[in-house]
Every structure is written in C-alpha cells, then in structure tokens.
Amino acid sequence: MDNLPQPTLLLTLATFAVVIGVLVFIHEFGHYIAGRLFGVKADAFSIGFGREITGWTDRRGTRWKVGLLPLGGYVKFAGDMNAASQADDVTDATPAERSVMFQSKPLWQRAIIILAGPLTNFVFAIAVFAAFFTTYGHSRTPAVVARVVAGSAAERAGFVVGDRIVALDGTPVERFEDVIRVVTMNTGSPIDAEIARGLSRVHLVVNPALTDEVDRFGNHYKQGKLGIGSGGRVVVRHALLPAIGYAVKEVWLLTGTMADGIVEVVSGRRPVSELGGPIKIAQISGQQAVLGLPNVIQFMALISINLGFINLLPVPMLDGGHLFLYAIEAIRRRPLAPKVQEMAFMSGFAALLSLMVFLTWNDLIAVGVWQHLTGLFG
C-alpha cells in the first residue's frame, strides 16, 4: 500500500489545538458543572496555562480565558490557592464567602466535583461511539478462524479453519476484533485460548509472534500476531439505546487495554519508547485530519478515554491524587496536615514534569529530530 501524503505543519498544529482544546474544555467543564451543582463559585476557567491570550468575565464573576501554553487547563474554584485546588488561607473569609468555597463543602461533594472531570471524558467517548454506531454502523466480525497461515504461531498451537474463539486468557471473546485487541498488545507471552470446535471445547496455548509493522503513514510499531484470518465483516446500525450499551462496552474494553499497556511498560514487557507525549499526539492528529473529519472525531474519543484514565491515577496534581487524599481523609476523619499535602503536590508536580520531559524526549526521537541534528553537527 502506498503511503498517504503527510499532513502539513499548519494542519497538524491546527488539528492538535482543536483536539486538545475541545477535550480539555470537556474535562474541565465536568468539574465546573459539578461545582455549580453544589454551589461552588468558580473564579477562573482556563484552557491552557500561562499568560492569558484572551478571555471574558461572566455575570457570576468567573473569568473564562485561553492561556498561552495549550497543554491542559483548569477550573480555579473559590478558596483554591492555585489551579491544582490546593486550599488557600481563608481565615479572614466571611461566612458568605466560605459558603461558596470548594474547601468548605463536605468531603463527598468535593470528591464528586473532582471525579466529574474524568467521567465527562468517558461520557464524551461513549457519546461519540454511540453516534457512530447509529450512523455509520457497528462493524463486527465473527470470531471464527477462516484461514490459518502455514508455519504461523496459530498453526503450531493447533488452530484449524472453522474454530470459533470463545475466550483468550479467560477473557470472553464475542468478535474477531476482541482477538485483535488482545493479540496486538501481546509481547510474546503465551495466551490460553478456549476454542469451540464442533460440539466440543478445546484449550490451546499459543505464543504470538512479535512483528514490526508499518502503518500507512510510515510509522513503525511492534505487535503480536497469531497468523489467522477472519471471515467477512458484518456492519449493523443500532438504535440509540443498544448503541449506547455497545459504546459503554467499547470504552470499558479500551480503558482496560490502556491499563494493560501501562502495566506492561512499567513491568518491562514493553519498551518505554512506545510511550508518546504531546508531539506524538500532534503528529497523529494531523494524520487523522488527512483521513477526514470522522477519523479526527474517533481519535478525539480515544484521547478522551486516555485523558480520563490518566487523570484517575493516584498521583498528586491529578484528579486521582485528590481522590486518594480524600480517601485518606475519610479514613482518618480529618485531612492531612497542610505541610504533608504541600509535599505531596510538589512531589506529584515533579513526577509529572519529569514524565512530560521524558515523553517529549521520546517524541523527538520518534520524529527524527535528534537524527537530523546529528546530521547537521556530526
């Protein structure tokens, strides 16, 4: 297959700005709406960090603005010292001022406000998938083996044409796409496959081959491969309610795949070079823009799931870090000392900053910047 033309730098930057801007707005709007529900005043709603480029103040006193650095955003509630929702010194606040502060609300309300951001990202992804399932249809391929490649991992394991794959490593398989999702994430470790063969059930152990693949944009990546082929696809347009059900399941499966990927990287089963940061997201954004608007929207849904999942990790500065501290507060029946919370947030900030630098370094290697500089100065 011929490689598609690469997107221009302008198209890449514009698409990246739209993708990140929309998803950050959705995430922060979840926090904002939940805060409004519990009577918390929002002092600022920002897309991006740093110096304000443009903005306005609404009748409730909330400053809506766009920051210079478009790599995130925040809602600063009344009583917050900063965008990370650390509590400010409010000893001089009046009762009326305290009543609309985030920190004055009950623990369960604060937890819901924090949780609302990631949940909104998941809801957005569900809405996108449901819309696609009702308009374009839901593509499903029966999990039946139609072809076994000679000499492949599948042939060595004993797969034969006509086998219906029921489960992989105990995870139920309903369609061939489920097989692809499990196998492509595999790094060569054995997979226990439950097979329906005629009227009997057969258990096979297969070791997927690890192959180097190249997509239509010329990007290289490694994935597992069994060496089996599927039959024809079936595309079904669902009514709205069934589409939502299938969309929820799809988001759940994708979230699990992301979690498995992180575990494999941390455990050393996958190389850290597979992790990508903002430059990689920008690159893929431009590539999806070349393929058309539906592809960009689907990509946004995937990034939205990623954003929701990452924010739930128990790392200070992230929503999951806040929820973790709230869990400790619920157990102790009192919050941690301000100094301890400050140290937690500082360590979380340092960890996230280090991760961002590392991911950017990975991205620069992936797009060939260091090789180019070596050629210039070597």
Cα distance between residue 56 and residue 47, in whole Å: 13
Cα distance between residue 43 and residue 79, in whole Å: 9
| Listed residue (170, 156, 38) closest to 107, CA to CA | 38
Q: Report the 10 Å Cβ neighbour count for 201.
A: 11
CB 20 within 8 A of CB 299: no
> Where in the sequence numbering do the catalytic residues fall?
28
Tokens coding 67 = 């920051």
Cα distance between residue 296 and residue 29, in whole Å: 21
DSSP string, 238-286: PPHHHHHHHHHHHHHHHHHHHHHHHHHHHTTSS-GGG---HHHHHHHHH
> Identity (one letter) of the amino acid at 249?
K
